[in-house]
Structure 1
């Protein structure tokens, strides 16, 4: 069940890429981030107020750390896009899959086996071919900011496993803290940036979808089920996000992709499946 739910979560997150591209034609990035998580805050307070009130003070440190890591990821990614290309941003951001595995090895003392190392190498090359299509990578200031974004998201994945194990049953409040911090972090960027937003009906529908389905439902699923699989195996599932983003870009935006990019998608998918099969076989041996 955790494997299925996290895989479905990746599908949902994949849909947000073409949706955001459509929305950014009429509203600014910081407006999108602010209102997405402001709505998520409101929805969680309405539905889960008793749980949030009960656990608010007991998990505030963990919730703040999760929120800071996730909020920093969104800010650095948005800021970096000002100075770099979407392709390079996608490549560097997706590297959080690799960074999360390294952080898990350092902080959780996770044993890294040969299968995982090979899969990481395959996934890295797959992400590179997918996002940069074999072009030479040259780092600029925007790339550096996006690199910080990838590290922040990697810490969010790591801390999600650690804190949801420690605070079993308090995943709702931990999720609320993340959205609350992201909202607060985005407020000054929204206030001091130029934005001539022209909201329409489709934008409102999209923002509700991203706030309620991709954010509230999505992060609650991550909080409840990622810990059952572990940081490293979950990271490989999340590596499928750019693949799903590509699929929905083709379906929604009628995008086309080169043979090199398609090979990259196959490599990412293969690496993710390989790690899951290896973990399942290990679990059965232990039984």
Structure 2
């Protein structure tokens, strides 16, 4: 029980820290290559890393005389990998495209909107949504307005791309929640990035490859995102969501927005206006409010999103 508690609370926070700092690496890489090229590189690195990890796990268990790790049925693993990989490919494309023109801090907070969208997605699935969530939605909309809409009442393309990315990550979280208890988490993540490699490579054919002369400039960011943000963090996400409340786990993972803002300020020296900081505060309040538990003694309906109950 104690190990499960650590897994369900520590792993999402570690994931958030890796994802948050990865926004800086992604922003740097966006200066040298297109989104499909970058996502192909990160996906290949993540796939090879996870494939090696799967091999090491199998060899270690054979040496100990234990049974090999079951990856669940091949059908579930293949279907889960296809669905997770497709959702992740689309989400990563829009996020990387947005980072070409927006800052890591803003991108982190807009991406974190998935914490509100996950419970709202329950409406389409026939789930009940607590009233407090609607206040969270209102705060999130106000926060997005302060973050993205200029004084001329226009929204930048970069912010709009990242907003679409938040909707795609909502789908990815829900798909992971559906398959994570059916198959091995590391195997699912491995297949997920294999699918992302194929889909991103198809789009990469339409982009210009970055010059090899500038390899030292973008190799570090690509490796960091490929190994840590993709290979490690997305696997930790899957392991954290196993037998856990996806709403609570997504709340902890949404702290990536804070890590992104801090990392952007410390590493890249990016700064926001007072209005944008207000937008960050409103979105952070929406994130927390969306997952506040109901008061003690108040009975919770089964199948409710966003209040600490299982989805």
When residues 86 and 283 of structure 1 are mapped into structure 2, their CA distance, relative to the original with a 3 A threshold, is farther
The yes-or-no answer on 1:100 pairing with 2:118 is yes
Segment drifting more, 20-29 vs 131-140: 131-140
Structure 1: any 5+ residue segments left out of the alignment? none
The equivalences for 1:1-287 within 5 A come to 1=6, 2-49=8-55, 50=58, 55=72, 57-58=74-75, 59-78=77-96, 85-86=101-102, 90=107, 93-107=111-125, 109-132=126-149, 136-137=153-154, 148-165=164-181, 167=182, 170-198=184-212, 199-201=214-216, 203-278=218-293
When residues 277 and 53 of structure 1 are mapped into structure 2, their CA distance, relative to the original with a 3 A threshold, is closer
1:185-244 deviations in whole A, cap 9, x for unaligned? Answer: 111222221133344345333222211211122111111223554333444444433332
1:34-55 deviations in whole A, cap 9, x for unaligned? Answer: 1111011111111113478955
Cα contact 1:68–1:181 (8 A) shared by 2 = yes
**How large is the RMSD of aligned CA atoms in angstroms?**
3.4
What TM-score results when the alignment is normalised by the length of structure 2? 0.75
Q: CA–CA distance in 1 between the matches of 2:272 and 2:161?
A: 27
Of Structure 1 and Structure 2, the greater helix share is in 1
What TM-score results when the alignment is normalised by the length of structure 1? 0.80
Segment drifting more, 63-72 vs 45-54: 45-54
Task: Give the aligned length.
Answer: 278
Q: CA–CA distance in 2 between the matches of 1:33 and 1:283?
A: 48
Q: CA–CA distance in 1 between the matches of 2:154 and 2:111?
A: 14
Cα contact 1:129–1:264 (8 A) shared by 2 = yes
Cα contact 2:149–2:155 (8 A) shared by 1 = no
When residues 211 and 254 of structure 1 are mapped into structure 2, their CA distance, relative to the original with a 3 A threshold, is same
1:263 alignment partner, SS class: helix
Shift of 1:275: 4.3
**Greater radius of gyration (CA):** 2
